[in-house]
Amino acid sequence: MKDPDSKTKIRRHSQADIVGAALSLLDDQGLPNLSMRAIADSIGVQVSALYWHFPNKQTLLARVSERLLGNSTIDSDADGDIESIAVDFHERLLAYRDAAELVSSSLALGLITLPARPLIHDAAVRAGLDDRGATIAADTIVHFVIGFTFHEQQRMNADSAGVVIHEAATMTVADIGAEADDFRSGLRLITAGIHATVKFL
């Protein structure tokens, strides 16, 4: 409507296209195989073409991180409790292969912000913490979720590669449920700390 046919640009690839291609490549090849050449190949373009759209690989990966975190879905559980926000964050990371490692690296380079962080901060304030306490609580939970999921996904990769890590080979279906329980238990340990801290104020 706002762009009549006279102005229909034949842009062969948008940033969004490339990010989408990279995301699905990540999911079925894994982060170690997500090279600029692999991304270029998957959309039928030369590697150098990617550098017209993005200044470097890390920036491209940061956009992929944002996409899988759903940085657009601003609201979602905007006023849930801490636990449900953390569980949602955990699930988004679990939805794509190696997502925790990818997000961890984008975050470390300061190229993304996590939607979950302010949500947890505000929930902590509602729970009774002051601003500084809420910031520390948010950081602690974010570290926990990323660290936990990182290990979780690394084990998934090792399993599917047939690698035996210690005695993990004897893991049954019940153990997978136990892993999810461990996540919630670790989370509850931290939230219990938050509530206990509130009582001292």
Partner DNA sequence: ACCTGAACACCGTTCAAGT
Q: Quick one: which segment of 55-63, 82-90, 122-130, 138-146 binds DNA (CB under 7 A)?
A: 55-63
**Partner from a copy of itself, DNA, none binding residue 160, C-beta < 5-8 Å depending on class:** none
Using the rule CB under 8 A, which residue among 110, 162, 167, 201 binds a copy of itself? 110
Q: Which does 91 bind (CB under 5 to 8 A by kind): DNA, a copy of itself, none?
A: none
**Which range of residues in 11-19, 73-81, 117-125, 186-194 is near DNA by CB under 7 A?**
11-19
Task: Decide: residue 103, CB within 10 A, 0-12 exposed, 13-18 middle, 19+ buried.
Answer: buried
Task: Say whether residue 108 binds a copy of itself (CB under 8 A).
Answer: yes
- Asked if residues 43 and 17 have their Cβ atoms less than 8 Å apart, the reply is yes
Q: Answer with the entry of DNA, a copy of itself, none that 35 interacts with (C-beta below 5 to 8 A by kind).
A: DNA
When the beta carbons of 17 and 122 are compared against a copy of itself, the nearer one is: 122
Q: Does 136 bind a copy of itself (CB under 8 A)?
A: yes
Per-position DSSP letters for 38-97, written without gaps between them: HHHHHTT--HHHHHHH-SSHHHHHHHHHHHHHTTT---SSTT--HHHHHHHHHHHHHTST
Are the CB atoms for 149 and 93 separated by under 8 Å? yes
Neighbours of 152 (CB within 10 A): 17
Residue from 44, 70, 177, 193 touching a copy of itself (CB under 8 A): that is 193
* Segment lying near DNA (by CB under 7 A), choices 28-36, 76-84, 87-95, 133-141: 28-36
Q: Choose the one of DNA, a copy of itself, none that binds residue 126, judging by a C-beta under 5 to 8 angstroms depending on kind.
A: none
Is position 150 an interface residue for a copy of itself (rule: CB under 8 A)? yes
Which of 56, 73 has the CB closer to DNA? Answer: 56
Looking up tokens 């990323």, which residue turns up? 146
Among 158, 171, 176, 180, binds a copy of itself (CB under 8 A): 158
Rounded to whole angstroms, how far apart are CA atoms 160 and 81? Answer: 35
Number of CB atoms found within 10 A of residue 132's CB: 8
Place of tokens 């001292």: 200
What 3-state class would DSSP assign to 180?
A: helix
